[in-house]
Structure 1
């Protein structure tokens, strides 16, 4: 008797829990045969990376699947439960219909603190919605998977050949895995990657075909004797495909393609392990490599898997612990279900569900093999058992037939020892280890037209080559049909199944299920009936009409067309490009690896795309569409639909109804269609169109393009540099972070730019706009708009109609444009231009500038709000608290206020008045009239014939070029004539007058003045009080009038500093009455002689270094008037104008 080596309780006690959580990497390679089951191919197959990994790992050379088929095997591995426990025995039942999400291996790892990252074929399907509960990141697996390629070959639906320039999905996945391992990760991760090859189709790069010489390939021919096989099993597996292989002389070609696919998978695995070993995670990562089962390559006339023999059930399994460098071969028979508890132990995840498998740690380096609780491995197919121990394989079929092989002596199981007397002891021990099964009653047809009647139990009919009639009666009956037959089942007579190899199969009345023999590759047509049928296609091209009832239709590898018909149907595409039509009812349609077409029809349908570039049409009803991977097209049709593009660059159309649309990862196009839709863009650069209705559009991250369409829409750009267009309706637009472009379009819109430097257009309608943070440009366009810049240095344009503009913080620029606008600068140095119309402008705190173009414009500033300026195209007087004024255009009058103003004329002559304050005023290049007013002013005439009055205060006056008339008026002024024949008047006060070039006339007037004629023939008239005069170059005239003289001494008399007779200077005394009283008399020049006592005499003399001119006007022989000349000059009478 074979018994467990240790008590079951020790399964839970044995663990090597790490102190620090290691990372875990699981890599599955689909349909990878075990070289230990195929010693003939061990020396031929080229897998250098797998070989190198085996040399560093615990290599379990006797690992077996529970069921040698993808879905049940992977479900057992990842759930930790036996296939006969879950009922997942073929590819028809998804794992999450029978296994709780929390019990799945990766869910356990997620709960244990791991970030689960997954891509490729890890589960049977790359995506189930339940996976979102524990997978934190999906890796891309988009690319070519199945189908005939140009130049390739095809045998009964199995394609093979060079992939050429195609991008293969497994290559994309490998790049994703390598990229992930090159990233920095802080949390421990569980990385799962499922390599699809060498699963059919065998399409891989040519370089891997070139590794093999077809002449070196020997076909695995084990003889024609299949008598040892159970009739049931032989009928189920069939030989039709192998017959087509032989007919096409393709056996060697197919093995060649399979081996090339194995080497391709090996190279991808090598890249993954190479990236891991080059990463910082190399010494703290456990790696598990496994396949889900083995593979037949024509042996016994069989291909693929799903048998009980060694070639199908035996699978590679290698585990490299963190830091392990030396390999170890483990010969103990183990089950793939042992992976579940082993990974939990390696990851340090304790407690909870442990599965039905046994931890492999005792068999690994440093372990105690006696503590391994396993005892052989079971493989199961539809009620048929195979039990494998270290030396023997025992098979028991549901019809009671048995097989028994000595694996060590007979590795290919060619010699059945059931009747061998020397093997009976061992046979009995293995029989006892297999649980009792309810036997099926077997009915065998022949080549004749048989009539077979079943029992009240579960019957199995193997119909022959004739036209048979079979009636199963009550019970769950199964019919294997090889030729047309009549099958009779009563109503409520159990759940019955037809397994067919026919080109056309029609479900008889009261038969629920149709299944094609797995290996069949011919085109087929299957018809359901009014019951809830379960229909499974094969590897060839099938067309299925499920008919009425709530049907389940599953496509395998062929390019199938599935029609659900009436009822709530569930339809699953396979590995090729399939067409699925739900028809009436609430249907569930799923794509797979191909580029699938899914149409829900009427009813509330669920459509899931799969890995390829799929087309999903919801049609009529409230549908759920999920594109999954690939660049998909989704159309909700009519009804309130939910669309999710998933991964890839998708196009999503909501159609009629209130739809909810998610773009998902990728560059997506979303269109809401009619009615009120909600659209979410995802993480890349997406395009969102609301269409008709009141829509909500959310760009999320990425540089998105959002168009609300008709209706009152809400648009939110999210993160990124987005474009938002409200279009028609009263819309709400929010740019979010980034440099966004927002346009409200028609309607009264609410627009918020958000973070970043945004460009915003209100469009038609009465809009409310806020720029948000950043340097924004805002255009109100048509309508009475309310525009606010908020943070940043904003530019705001009111547009048409009467607008309100607010800059708030920042150095903003506000243009009211047309209409009677209100502009508020807020904080910062703002620029406000009301534009046409009667505008009100309020700058606020900061140095603000205004543009006034209408006499009725109002500019408001308060005290201590900065130094402000007005540019006016109309005559303008500065209001209170505004410092500066500049005229423009035809404006001719500019007037300051009580502040220290800066006033500038425009291009035309102007009248400029500073009024109070220390003003600075600049004229134009034409004739200006400038009035400084009170205060110490600076007045500049510039070009043109200017008239300038300094007014009260110590002014600086510069006439500029041309002929100017300059008046200092009150105060001690500095007056500069500049270029031109200027006339300067000092006025009251001690003034300084400088003539400059040309012929200037300088009037000192009252006060002790300084006069400088500069270049040119100048006339200098000092006026009252002691004046100092400099004529400058050329012939100048120094003129005096009655009352213009000061004192008689050198330091009190009027002074001429540069009198030069050689230059032609003259002293003009003609306006002075030489004799007091009477008529206006001229002086009598007496040279340097003394006064004679006669009134009217004029004399000169040298006094020290100066020359003094004295005048006696009363005849008392004493000087009454005096003039000082610098230097000793002998004066002739000609020097005077008497």
Structure 2
């Protein structure tokens, strides 16, 4: 089910503009592995003043969802407005342009409409995707270490012939922000803004933290006392499908993480400290970039989007990764700020990451080609407006199982299907009315039969019984 074809899409690129006001610049902060652990989302421990300030005179979406909780497909989805099942790529190994040369992406569209396009840091997972259509391109960097012992550890691993070379899972060197890569990305964004201040631009700043390793300057670690953190329950949801959760993701590959067993409480708290330090670190970089907009008198005409590619587990269910259909992995932060200094608003509407492309296109006065997402402009004007009754995600387990999932904002229903035979192998129904963490699969309980039937109805709207995933 590929919704966009080259001839159809190109016809839209030539449509004239129709807007009554000056076109805005567009600045997107695309963050890696960030869940809703921010002050503006109610986390009283995390220190994120610059992100919180965006929410104070913008609109914050409480129920925004990614389409797949893994980097490459999620970012392709964001940058095309298409669901992973429309693109046909579900893994992190396949570059988009290797199989889909016909899709018109966000940078292509804005470039064709006379915007300067800028990619800084990790935007696509695969650097080569759309590399040629960015007017300014700052390559994403590999993970960086500063401490001598960690650099030496990496070198010893390389010399030993180890296949997967990973350093420490965290580092807190007493250094300036630019010693680590997100600080350098922020500096490059500031330099680029100064160069493009007289041009219309679409700038996507891909900040790599709080993705592992949790490397950030010591001053951000010092904002927190790890002894104050609660260790989350490692219990798995009762009655869940046996493949619902990934075991570890990449954490176990890091050199200072034990190879087997659950992490002890002290190491758990150390990692949470590192994750939060990284949030405060990127928050500071965001603040520097926004201050530059103010200095250059660009802020009032710059549309800012703050978002994440997917959520993440910080020890919940005993896991340290995304890679699932769980609420904690699919729900993401999303803030849209148009620079108007209006009063803070929040929306509980069910929205999706695929909605960002059509939203910024409409706010820029542009007619976009057909995509799976839809513009959120009506919600920006009226946050309490009636909206979609469901949001959708998916996650495969190899090529034998496809988990397709739907939320109505209170409950999450998932079907695990055999993509070839279309057989439903297992179903899950989790209650998230009052908590983010699932504790029990309600799918087989008689009192939830009617609710399950309604959730199945919603799921079938996006994923009919005979849906072809491949």
Band of TM-score, shorter chain: 0.7 to 0.9
Give the 3 Å change call, closer, same or farther, for CA 312–146 of structure 1 in structure 2: farther
Other-structure match for 2:361: 344
CA distance in 2, matches of 1:38, 1:48: 9
Other-structure match for 2:219: 207
Matches within 5 A, 1:829-908: none
2:90 is aligned with 1:89: yes
Pairwise CA distance, 1:239: 11
Aligned residue for 1:403, secondary structure, equals strand
2:343 is aligned with 1:326: yes
CA distance in 1, matches of 2:314, 2:355: 27
CA distance in 2, matches of 1:240, 1:74: 21
Other-structure match for 1:28: 30
Aligned residue for 1:397, secondary structure, equals strand
Other-structure match for 1:280: 297
Matches within 5 A, 1:138-537: 138-139=137-138, 145-146=143-144, 149-150=147-148, 159-165=169-175, 167-183=179-195, 185-221=197-233, 223-234=234-245, 241=252, 243-244=260-261, 246=263, 249-351=266-368, 353-365=369-381, 369-370=385-386, 372=387, 374-382=388-396, 383-398=402-417, 400-434=425-459, 435-437=463-465
Q: What TM-score, normalized by structure 2, do the two folds share?
A: 0.81
Pairwise CA distance, 1:75: 0.5
Aligned residue for 1:61, secondary structure, equals strand
Contact 2:75-2:309 at 8 Å conserved across structures = yes
Contact 2:240-2:441 at 8 Å conserved across structures = no
CA distance in 1, matches of 2:326, 2:19: 36
2:73 is aligned with 1:72: yes
Contact 1:140-1:172 at 8 Å conserved across structures = no
CA distance in 1, matches of 2:83, 2:321: 22
1:1061-1119 Cα deviation digits (max 9, x unpaired): xxxxxxxxxxxxxxxxxxxxxxxxxxxxxxxxxxxxxxxxxxxxxxxxxxxxxxxxxxx
Give the 3 Å change call, closer, same or farther, for CA 95–247 of structure 1 in structure 2: same
Contact 1:159-1:202 at 8 Å conserved across structures = yes
Pairwise CA distance, 1:183: 3.9
Aligned residue for 2:323, secondary structure, equals coil
Other-structure match for 1:120: 121
Pairwise CA distance, 1:234: 4.4
Contact 2:144-2:180 at 8 Å conserved across structures = no
CA distance in 2, matches of 1:23, 1:261: 27
1:404-460 Cα deviation digits (max 9, x unpaired): 122113431213222333322221011122224569xxxxxxxxxxxxxxxxxxxxx
Pairwise CA distance, 1:163: 3.3
CA distance in 2, matches of 1:175, 1:182: 11
1:489-512 Cα deviation digits (max 9, x unpaired): xxxxxxxxxxxxxxxxxxxxxxxx
Give the 3 Å change call, closer, same or farther, for CA 185–58 of structure 1 in structure 2: same
1:279-305 Cα deviation digits (max 9, x unpaired): 221111111111001110111111110
CA distance in 2, matches of 1:235, 1:19: 48
1:24-45 Cα deviation digits (max 9, x unpaired): 1111111111138998x81111
Give the 3 Å change call, closer, same or farther, for CA 350–433 of structure 1 in structure 2: same
Pairwise CA distance, 1:366: 5.0
CA distance in 2, matches of 1:250, 1:16: 56
Give the 3 Å change call, closer, same or farther, for CA 118–36 of structure 1 in structure 2: closer
CA distance in 2, matches of 1:196, 1:291: 10
Pairwise CA distance, 1:247: 5.9
Matches within 5 A, 1:752-791: none
CA distance in 2, matches of 1:250, 1:426: 40
Pairwise CA distance, 1:227: 3.9
Give the 3 Å change call, closer, same or farther, for CA 97–216 of structure 1 in structure 2: same
Contact 1:16-1:346 at 8 Å conserved across structures = no
Unaligned runs of 5+ in 2: 1-11, 155-164, 253-257, 397-401, 418-423
Contact 1:147-1:201 at 8 Å conserved across structures = no
Aligned residue for 2:428, secondary structure, equals strand
Other-structure match for 2:101: 100
Contact 1:118-1:139 at 8 Å conserved across structures = yes
Contact 2:430-2:441 at 8 Å conserved across structures = yes
Give the 3 Å change call, closer, same or farther, for CA 158–348 of structure 1 in structure 2: farther
Pairwise CA distance, 1:169: 1.5
Contact 1:208-1:264 at 8 Å conserved across structures = yes
Give the 3 Å change call, closer, same or farther, for CA 136–410 of structure 1 in structure 2: closer
Pairwise CA distance, 1:181: 2.7
Contact 2:290-2:299 at 8 Å conserved across structures = no
1:752-790 Cα deviation digits (max 9, x unpaired): xxxxxxxxxxxxxxxxxxxxxxxxxxxxxxxxxxxxxxx
Aligned residue for 2:310, secondary structure, equals coil
Aligned residue for 1:26, secondary structure, equals strand
Aligned residue for 2:148, secondary structure, equals coil
Other-structure match for 1:3: none
Other-structure match for 1:62: 63
Aligned residue for 1:118, secondary structure, equals strand
Pairwise CA distance, 1:269: 1.0
Give the 3 Å change call, closer, same or farther, for CA 149–159 of structure 1 in structure 2: farther
Give the 3 Å change call, closer, same or farther, for CA 391–186 of structure 1 in structure 2: same
Query: How large is the Cα RMSD of the aligned pairs?
Result: 3.2
Aligned residue for 2:425, secondary structure, equals coil
Greater fraction helix: 2
Pairwise CA distance, 1:102: 5.8
CA distance in 2, matches of 1:296, 1:414: 15
Pairwise CA distance, 1:320: 0.6
Contact 1:407-1:413 at 8 Å conserved across structures = yes
